[in-house]
Each structure stands twice: as C-alpha cells, then as structure tokens.
Structure 1
C-alpha cells in the first residue's frame, strides 16, 4: 500500500496555460504558487498566470505549490479521470508503488516520489489517474528537496539513471499479481533535465493474467524539485501518451518554480 502523502490543499488556483517544450530525456543526460492576485493580470507569453510571488521559487516547494505542479485531467486525453489506484491495477497496485524485494531496482520507483533512503524529499505530492477500470493507469509525483540535503533533486535523478543501467530485471509482487519486468531505456522529450525507462513483463494472476504489461517511468528535474511519471498499460504501451504527459508535467513544474500558476488546475481532494 502506498505511504501517507502530504495533506491536500483547499481552494482553487487560477488561469490559462500550457506546452512550450524543448529538449529531453532518454539515453543521454538532458540539459536542461504562491498567492493569486485579484483581479488576475493578463496571462504571460507561456499562458501561465503570475501567482503574485515577487520572485522565483528558490527553495523547496510548499505543499500548495507541489500540488499545483501535479498533472491535471486536462493535461491528458479525453476520458482520463482521477482515481484511487491502490490495489486496483493490472499489476496489483498503483504504478508508482509496486513492490519488489530487489532493493536496487525499487529505487527506480522510489526516486519518482522523493522516497530514497536517507534522502527523502522535504515536500511531496501525488495524484493518480486511469482511462478505464482496465487501464491505462498513471501516477503523477512531485518531490521537492531542502538545500540542507545538498542537491537532492540532482541526487534523485542521478540515482534513477544509475539504477536504470544496473537494474536489468526484477520481479514485482502485488496482491495476487506477479510480474517479471525487464528494464530498458526509453526516449521521450519532457523538455527538462530528465531520464526515462520502460519496463515490460507478463502478468501472472489478476485481471491481466498472461498478458504483457508495460510500465513507462519518467523523472525530470527543475532546480530543487522533480516531477515523476509512471504510466502502466496492458499491451505494448503508448510512447506518444508517455511523451505528452511527461512534457506537460515538466512544464507545470517549470511554471510553479518560476512563480506562475499552471492551468488547468488540480482540484482539491
């Protein structure tokens, strides 16, 4: 089961924005809200609305800012909805919370939400979605690190890259489902310093017994924070969907870090 998350934030954020994208992720290392004023000023060139913060975020995100950085329904194709995915997916649990006894390979998943041993994030937030009861399923994660932890976001991304190379295969067991995953690099373009991996394996047990599962993982870094994405599909997977969601996630984190409120907004839980 997934660990307790930061408490949700009440209230609505504001405005209009999205997707001006650049370089990315893959085998090579990539380059790289405050309070809403009333009335709102005109949108910036990126489409995001200034949040009223006099400067860019220079430390870890607040809980409100972390939540605002998460993917929203409007970033995904029609039909996707927020859902509680604990214990309910084709792999037996939420895509970012699968279990394995392989401690090295588990870091691929732990890095997405800032849950690495001895280097946990100062603030974090998560939100899950699904297209239907049979998937695909998506987990959006934000982790933001304190300066006292050195550069935790760089460490998280470095760990993800290292484990992607050293972890070739591992077995995930969740409720009645077992999957023997094989790990390989994945090339998409989130538009931030990033790394990606694709995991594939056949399910044994559960509703997808005997079928191939594909789990795409993306981790992108913006200053002291990271945005993580885990997309689980029955079948071959959808690289275009992974790329679309990863780009939107990176852009939202960039907006919040720059003192803007991304749109569409993430509603309160």
Structure 2
C-alpha cells in the first residue's frame, strides 16, 4: 500500500537541500526512571496519625525528573512504518519557517500577527510550549525522506493549559497569512485545526502549510503540529513533508507519548511496545 512521503522540520530531498540549517547534537532517548521513595512524614502526616480513620491528603503534583523525561520519550517502536531514531534532532532547523509576518495584512491587527509569529518561531526553535523550567528532553526520527520531532517537558500545569488554549485559537487568529523571508521572498502560510485521538488530560492540534521556494523552485511544506498535557507536563509532535503530513504517525506519536508520560509520572516504567498498553 502506498503512503505519502513525509518530512518534518527539514526538507530532506535535494530540491529543498538549500533550506536546511543543521548541526549535530544527539538526544539520548534512553534513561532509567528516577523516582525517590516518599519520606515517612509524607506517607503519614501527624493529622493522619492522630486520626487513623482519616484519609491522607492528596499527594502533590508529580514532577518530571531528567531521567523521567528521557524515559517518557517515544521510540521508533511506538511509530508506524520504518522510522529510525536520529542522532542530531536537537539541531534540526528549517529556513522555510524563518521570516517576518506581514502585520499590515492582518485585519485583526498586531495581536493576531504576534500569535502567528510566535507559532513560526516556536516551530523553528522547538519551543511551541515555551521553555520548560523543569526537566525536558527531545528526540527525532527519520525514514528515507521524512523527519518527526518529539519533545517532552515539565512546564507547569497552568502554563501548559494556557499554551493549549493558545494552540486552539491559532486557526481562527491566523488562518492564512504572508511571511517575508530574509531574502525578501514571500511565503504563504495556512493554519487549520487538526483532530487528535483521545490522549492525556488535554490535547490540541493544527496543520501548518508553508508555500515558498527552495533552490529557486516552488515547494509546499505541510506539517502536523500536536501538543498534549498530562498533569503539569506537556509534549509536542512535529511531523510533515513535501507531499503532505502522515497523520497515522502523528496520531501514533500522540497516543504513545501520552501513555509513556502518564506511566512515568505514576512511577512506572513505560511499556516497550505500543501493543502492551493498547
């Protein structure tokens, strides 16, 4: 069965080779789960000791550790088709995403234009949910003509909720807009909502299409962009290509990522294969 070629973040074909800026940096997806046992005081408060029949207070929001962030990363086994883990995902950059939004073309003014600029900047710099004040980790995968980036971090519950609300507003605020690249070339960007499978505590998705040129030839980059929340931690998936986004792999990454993050925050070791938690 034929499937669309995919490519996220960087144009892998020779046609778009000139749009790539990448320098190597390896993101290790392996790491033992780092959990500490609760102290006796945490397990049994003085109030609980005085009243054995009283239920203990709810535990604090679980925090993602550095080792936990690594353990929460998806693996090639979580994705459909023939994905291979990359060694340089931290350095992936795509020049098609660089540029300044044409504010004058926005009927809704500078506020909406700022949101669209934030989207492009976040895609380019791997900071769609902002910079995580807590632990974070990222990994990437390739097949012969595609790339998929996955990132997870402890952002704080209020911050992730706010980011997801912003994410959902993008199709309405941005819709279609124009970007001017550093070379003066014009690019057209479209943002539409995308449905995601039930996963995590909350989720939001969009599809971003950028029409521009690479090596003097017209190209269209279509990218699935998904964000999800589990308690106070969040994760993002960026996956697309010149022939359209492969939704199957995007959905697989969302489902597996949410489950792995949930397991880690619960003090469990994530299952090695998706079939073990389906």
- On whether the aligned pair clears a TM of 0.5, the verdict is yes
Q: Which has the higher contact order (CA 8 A, sep 6+)?
A: 1
Larger radius of gyration: 2
Which residue of the partner structure matches residue 204 of structure 1?
213
What do residues 105-157 of structure 1 show as CA deviations (whole Å, max 9, x unaligned)? 243363974653xx75322211111112x32x1110112124xxx72221221
Distance 1:176 1:188, change over 3 A: farther
Match for residue 224 of structure 2 among 216, 221, 226: 216
What do residues 215-240 of structure 1 show as CA deviations (whole Å, max 9, x unaligned)? 00010111101111000212122222
Using structure 2 for the length normalisation, give the TM-score: 0.63
Which residue of the partner structure matches residue 72 of structure 2?
69
Distance 1:9 1:210, change over 3 A: closer
> Which residues of structure 1 form unaligned runs of 5+?
14-32, 37-54
Which residue of the partner structure matches residue 253 of structure 1?
261
Using structure 1 for the length normalisation, give the TM-score: 0.65
More helix by share: 2
Which residue of the partner structure matches residue 234 of structure 1?
242
Q: Is the 8 A contact 1:71 1:248 kept in 2?
A: yes
Which residue of the partner structure matches residue 192 of structure 2?
184
Which residue of the partner structure matches residue 20 of structure 1?
none
Distance 1:179 1:246, change over 3 A: farther
> Which residues of structure 2 form unaligned runs of 5+?
1-20, 37-57, 102-113, 274-278
Which residue of the partner structure matches residue 109 of structure 2?
none
Give matches, 1:36-185, under 5 Å: 58-83=61-86, 84-85=88-89, 91-92=94-95, 98-102=97-101, 103-108=114-119, 110=122, 113=127, 116=130, 120-132=132-144, 134-135=145-146, 137-146=147-156, 151-170=158-177, 171=179, 173=181, 179-185=187-193
Across the aligned residues of Structure 1 and Structure 2, the Cα RMSD in angstroms comes to 3.9
What do residues 75-121 of structure 1 show as CA deviations (whole Å, max 9, x unaligned)? 123421122257767x448xxxx4343442243363974653xx753
Aligned equivalents of 2:184, 2:92: Cα separation in 1? 11
Q: Is the 8 A contact 1:153 1:224 kept in 2?
A: yes
Aligned equivalents of 1:185, 1:251: Cα separation in 2? 23
Matched, 1:34 2:46: no
Q: Look up the SS of the partner of 1:158 in the other structure.
A: helix
Tell me the matched-pair count: 214
